[in-house]
Homo-oligomer: A and B are copies of this chain.
Amino acid sequence: MKPNFSLRLRVFNLNCWGIPYLSKHRADRVKRLGDFLNRESFDLALLEEVWSEQDFQYLRQKLLPAYPAAHYFRSGIIGSGLCVFSKHPIQEFTQHVFTLNGYPYMIHHGDWFCGKAVGLLVLRLGGLVLNAYVTHLHAEYNRQKDIYLAHRVAQAWELAQFIHHTSKKADVVLLCGDLNLHPKDLGCRLLKEWTGLQDAYLETRDFKGPEEGCTMVPQNCYVNRQELEQFPLGIRIDYVLYKAVSGLYISCKTLRTTTGHEPHSGSPLSDHEALMATLCVRHSPPQHNPSPTHGPAERSPLISVLREAWTELDQGMAQGRWWATIAGYVIGLGLLLLVLLCALAAGGEIREVAVLLWTPSVGLVLAAGAFYLFHVQEAKGLCRARAELQHVLGRAREAQDLGPESQPAGLLGQQEGDRAEEQ
């Protein structure tokens, strides 16, 4: 690679709010999104909440000349809603579906049925390997009493681990998506600390968009204003995150965010705002590499966020086990009730009532059984994430105790590994 090498990358991200029959003006918005993407001709357009495959196929046809490569990530029952359009050929793609994603009996929230996931695309641009990830985490329905918190933290950890393990040979890593996490939320800090990804909004010197970079703003006519009551400026839950490795330097030249309406027609494209980032990757000699030199002082935030996440997952696990125990009791009581009803029916006393109650009791036992199995599986999933986290925490502590000279390589992932190789 030449020393004056430079690569410019224009990226678009939008949560499209494309729920068939429920989202307002869906067809019109999808059409306008297609027109907009065609006009702007980004390198990559990463979309979330494209729940209808017909919408994806429509966009695919419409965008074919400007974005010859596209992929729709299928998963779960409804789908992940994730898709991508690229100006450049996609070398490889795969996906990882999150182990935990809400509760099947919370039908009105529906996240469980979606199969939330992270999609990975591998592209080769100007001799560089770019790993682009697109994701959408579990929604937050009640910030004060968030029953999905442990699941979202587990998803953030799985996302971070997936990026960590699949990007070891990438030159540039890009993650776009709706994380359903505010910038200071545990999941967001965990993801950033473990992967080393940087936040385009915080890094760029040229930002144009709503105050504080919000991506759900009260100015947007589709936004439920009640949900933003506590946040008069809006909330920032959609992100463009990136990092470069192997002696490369990446910066965000500009970041533009729509402000409640599409720049051309004035109507919003979605209830979320679109993010448009211009990234610049260039070769910089190691002495100018702005990545922090990791050492005990820098590792502390990682240890502290890992500890916090461990506690959250532990609490979630205890709760999952508690629900499984309750379900176990209900199964026991239901079985007792069934025996009692059989005895009553056989004895001829209140026979009709006994027969009538028999089938609902069987239903109760079956439902409690399903509930039990679900929460056993939930506790196992959280336990798995907690074990991975605990291992990383142990190694981070060891490294801190030993000091920077004797840090085991590979602990902080790619960046250190690469640096070690360069030396």
Q: Give residues in A with beta carbon < 8 Å to B.
A: 71-77, 79, 90-97, 99, 113, 115, 120, 122, 124, 129, 161, 165-166, 168-169, 355-356, 359-360, 362-363, 373, 376-377, 380-381, 383-384, 387-388, 391-392, 395, 408-411, 414, 417
Contacts and interface: CB of A to CB of B under 8 A. Distances in A.
B79 A165 contact: no
A380 B77 contact: yes
Contact of A75 (B91, B99, B115, B355): B99
A102 to B, nearest CB: 15
A99 B97 contact: yes
Contacts of A408: 91, 124
Contacts of A165: 92, 94, 120, 165-166
Given A169-B168, A356-B355, A363-B359, A95 B384 contact: yes
A201 B74 CA distance: 37
A14 B240 CA distance: 45
A74 B387 contact: yes
B94 A417 contact: no
A96 B94 contact: no
A408 to B, nearest CB: 7
A240 to B, nearest CB: 22
B373 A77 contact: yes
**Which 3 A-B residue pairs are closest in the complex by CB-CB distance?**
A359-B359, A168-B169, A74-B384
A75 B380 contact: yes
A328 B217 CA distance: 41
Contacts of A71: 387, 391
A335 to B, nearest CB: 18
A410 B408 CA distance: 29
B363 A92 contact: no
Given A94-B388, A129-B410, A410-B92, A383 B74 contact: yes
A64 to B, nearest CB: 16
24 contacts: A72-B387, A74-B380, A74-B384, A75-B380, A75-B381, A76-B377, A77-B380, A91-B408, A91-B411, A92-B391, A93-B388, A94-B165, A95-B384, A96-B96, A115-B377, A115-B380, A124-B409, A166-B168, A169-B169, A169-B414, A359-B359, A359-B363, A362-B363, A363-B363
